[in-house]
């Protein structure tokens, strides 16, 4: 029993979704503020989202195993979201990586990285696979048996996508007491988890729902940066567990947000409210603000469950 309990605990732990903020500031890297980058750990994947300058150093500080990153998602080709990527690709090579690496990014990045490698006279010794994005409609860009990733079309000064990461609905969970009482052979347990009715050792049909419980609610994470206030995303991100939405400015500086196609904290909160998300995380703060708590206070006038991103901060859901 001890070992079974331990296994169950482990399963529960791995089903947690973990978000590590490597950088959450806009524009210019400074001694104490990093540009956008984050790690989403979901269903045993380590997804890297955006990769501003300095990301590889932040990855080291956060003790992320470089080799476990197999998929990198780049929202758009403004420097504060990708200038650290070529260095990371190059570092992977120097670390003699062999695992293939997938990069999902706007068209153009492949040409750029290829030129950089040509100029350096060095090519990766691992497979580097670009998935160039051009669609202005949401598309499914990654899928396996546990998780899927869709683009979220955003409204910014250049072609930009957010990303929606969704766990697939898991297996049903055995009610062990009921299963044992029903005298079902262990060989049928997998069928039960998949939702089938099965026969027990006496040849009686056992209805699935009498011996299993609903799977855990599947979790989801929507990354939306950079974007102007954009209600068209609401339907797609409806009820997500966590929404990371940029809030470069406070409402008092809305006149800066509008022409640069960024959002205010209040606008981010309005999207969160309409989409009825679980938690709103604010980020991509302009470095002009000293007191980031003002972002939280402003957002909470609209939507209650607000968190502030911070470089190095870890969220678990």
The catalytic residues are 80
Binding test (CB under 8 A) with a copy of itself, winner from 15, 91, 258, 274 = 91
- Residues numbered 150-179 forming contacts with a copy of itself, rule: CB under 8 A: 157-158
Tokens of 185: 């052979």
Q: Which stretch binds a copy of itself (CB under 8 A): 119-127, 184-192, 229-237, 257-265?
A: 119-127
CB 25 within 8 A of CB 79: no
Binding test (CB under 8 A) with a copy of itself, winner from 67, 70, 77, 200 = 77
Residue 37 or 212 with smaller CB distance to a copy of itself? 37
Residue 183 annotated as part of some ligand binding site = no
Of the candidates 128, 76, 140, 67, the residue with the CA atom closest to the CA atom of residue 102: 128
Q: Which stretch binds a copy of itself (CB under 8 A): 41-49, 90-98, 217-225, 293-301?
A: 90-98
3-state SS, residue 36: coil
Of the candidates 179, 182, 125, 147, the residue with the CA atom closest to the CA atom of residue 73: 147
Binding test (CB under 8 A) with a copy of itself, winner from 8, 12, 14, 115 = 115
Distance of alpha carbon 170 from alpha carbon 156, whole angstroms: 35
16 binds a copy of itself (CB under 8 A): no
Give least dist CB 311 to a copy of itself, A.
12
Residue 175 annotated as part of some ligand binding site = no
Residue 76 annotated as part of some ligand binding site = yes
Q: How many chain residues touch a copy of itself (CB under 8 A)?
A: 36
Q: What is the DSSP string of 247-292?
A: --B-GGGHHHHHHHT--BHHHHHHHHHHHT-SEEEEE-B-TT-S-T
Of the candidates 128, 137, 81, 74, the residue with the CA atom closest to the CA atom of residue 106: 74
Residue 71 annotated as part of some ligand binding site = no
Distance of alpha carbon 195 from alpha carbon 106, whole angstroms: 40
Of the candidates 299, 308, 221, the residue with the CA atom closest to the CA atom of residue 267: 299
Residue 226 annotated as part of some ligand binding site = yes
Binding test (CB under 8 A) with a copy of itself, winner from 83, 142, 289, 317 = 83
Tokens of 134: 């051009």
Of the candidates 169, 155, 229, 167, the residue with the CA atom closest to the CA atom of residue 40: 167
Residue 2 or 121 with smaller CB distance to a copy of itself? 121
- Residues numbered 17-76 forming contacts with a copy of itself, rule: CB under 8 A: 27-31, 53-54, 56-57, 60-61
The answer for residues whose C-beta is within 8 angstroms of residue 180's C-beta and 6 or more apart is none
Distance of alpha carbon 153 from alpha carbon 162, whole angstroms: 6
Q: Residues within the annotated binding site for Zn(2+)? A: 76, 78, 80-81, 156, 226, 284
Chain residues binding a copy of itself by CB under 8 A are 27-31, 53-54, 56-57, 60-61, 77-79, 83-84, 86-87, 90-91, 94-95, 106, 108-109, 111-112, 115-116, 118-122, 157-158
């Amino acid at each position: 029993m001890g070992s079974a309990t331990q296994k169950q605990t482990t399963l529960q732990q791995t089903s947690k979704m973990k978000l590590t903020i490597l950088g959450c500031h806009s524009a210019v890297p400074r001694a104490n503020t990093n540009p956008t980058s984050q790690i989403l750990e979901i269903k045993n994947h380590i997804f890297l989202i955006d990769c501003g300058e300095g990301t590889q150093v932040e990855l080291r500080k956060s003790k992320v195993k470089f080799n476990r990153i197999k998929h990198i998602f780049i929202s758009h080709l403004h420097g504060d979201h990708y200038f650290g990527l070529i260095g990371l690709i190059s570092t992977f090579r120097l670390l003699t990586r062999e695992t293939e690496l997938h990069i999902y990014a706007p068209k153009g990045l492949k040409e750029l990285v290829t030129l950089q490698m040509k100029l350096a006279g060095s090519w990766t010794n691992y497979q580097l696979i670009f998935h160039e994005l051009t669609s202005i409609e949401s598309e499914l860009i990654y899928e396996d048996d546990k998780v899927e990733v869709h683009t979220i079309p955003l409204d910014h000064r250049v072609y930009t996508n957010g990303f929606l990461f969704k766990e697939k609905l898991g297996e049903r969970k055995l009610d062990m007491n009921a299963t044992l009482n029903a005298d079902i052979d262990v060989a049928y347990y997998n069928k039960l988890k998949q939702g089938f009715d099965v026969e027990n050792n006496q040849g009686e049909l056992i209805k699935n729902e009498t011996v299993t419980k609903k799977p855990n609610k599947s979790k989801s994470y929507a990354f939306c940066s950079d974007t102007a206030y954009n209600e068209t995303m609401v339907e797609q991100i409806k009820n997500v567990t966590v929404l990371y939405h940029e809030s470069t400015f406070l409402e008092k500086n809305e006149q800066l947000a509008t022409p640069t196609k960024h959002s205010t904290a209040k606008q981010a909160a309005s999207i969160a409210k309409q989409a009825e998300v679980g938690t709103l995380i604010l980020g991509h703060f302009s470095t002009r603000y000293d007191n980031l708590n003002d972002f939280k206070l402003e957002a909470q006038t609209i939507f209650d469950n607000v968190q502030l991103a911070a470089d190095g901060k870890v969220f678990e859901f």
